[in-house]
């Protein structure tokens, strides 16, 4: 079984990407929605994201009482075992909170569950990157270094010069990941999803 962790700062576009990815995997056969379980780790109230995902017929599990990267790592492992037992999905997609450290989420999972394959995608917000970088550097750095795929999102909101600048800045934190510039407000290319799922060979 495989788990795809989506990290990235608050409002960077994680849910927008998850929605399209889930649709891409399920395709035109709604019965195959059962192959995918989506975990939304949000701190606080019942979320709109959650309602939106459920309306697509997906199985959505919530982890609300804290952040899975730190206070809830035990619950995360337990939750994953329960999901594997109850649903036997081929894929779990986990949207981490915007302030989560995906690096430690991956460590928790790989250390305690040897039979699970872990992919990490980081969603970044091209529009707000420069503004967030200084105050959030430690967090953004961790989110980026943990990732095998980095999405530079919201390219519809920036001009080409700024995009070049933002990409160069992001690459100083991780130049090994696969990079894709996207707008999750529009149709995302299938090659992006295949890379996120680790289905293409090039790394």
Q: State the first-to-last Cα distance of the chain, in angstroms, to the nearest integer.
A: 20
Choices 31-39, 71-79, 158-166, 182-190; region in contact with ligand GTP by CB under 6 A: 182-190
- Determine if 183 is a binding residue for ligand GTP (CB under 6 A): yes
10 binds, among ligand GTP, Mg ion, none (CB under 5 to 8 A by kind): ligand GTP
Residues of span 161-180 touching ligand GTP by CB under 6 A: none
Binding pattern for the stretch 6-45 against ligand GTP, x by CB under 6 A and - elsewhere: --x-xxxxxxx-----------------------------
Measured CA to CA, the distance from residue 156 to residue 179 in angstroms comes to 17
DSSP string, 11-48: TSSHHHHHHHHHHHHHTT-GGGGGGEEEEEE-SSSPPH
Least Å from the CB of residue 40 to ligand GTP: 8
The residue (of 49 and 199) whose beta carbon lies closer to Mg ion is 49
Q: How many CB atoms lie within 10 A of CB 76?
A: 22
Quick check: 118 and 94 in contact, CB under 8 A?
no
Chain contacts with ligand GTP (rule: CB under 6 A): 8, 10-16, 49, 98, 153-154, 156-157, 183-185
């Amino acid at each position: 079984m495989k788990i795809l962790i989506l990290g990235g700062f608050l409002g960077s576009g994680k849910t927008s990407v998850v929605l399209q990815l889930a649709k891409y995997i399920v395709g035109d056969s709604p019965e195959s929605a059962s192959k995918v379980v989506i975990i939304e780790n949000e701190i606080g109230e019942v979320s709109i994201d959650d309602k939106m995902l459920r309306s697509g017929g997906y199985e959505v599990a919530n982890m609300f009482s804290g952040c899975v990267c730190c206070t809830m790592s035990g619950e995360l492992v337990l939750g994953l075992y329960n999901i594997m037992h109850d649903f036997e999905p081929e894929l779990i997609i986990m949207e981490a909170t915007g302030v989560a450290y995906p690096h430690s989420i991956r460590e928790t999972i790989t250390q305690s569950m040897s039979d699970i394959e872990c992919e990490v995608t980081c969603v970044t917000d091209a529009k707000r990157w420069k503004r967030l970088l200084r105050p959030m550097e430690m967090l953004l750095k961790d989110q980026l270094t943990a990732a095998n795929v980095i999405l530079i999102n919201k390219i519809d909101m920036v001009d080409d010069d700024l995009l070049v600048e933002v990409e160069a800045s992001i690459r100083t934190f991780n130049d090994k990941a696969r990079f894709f510039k996207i707008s999750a407000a529009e149709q995302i290319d299938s090659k992006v999803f295949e890379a996120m799922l680790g289905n293409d060979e090039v790394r």
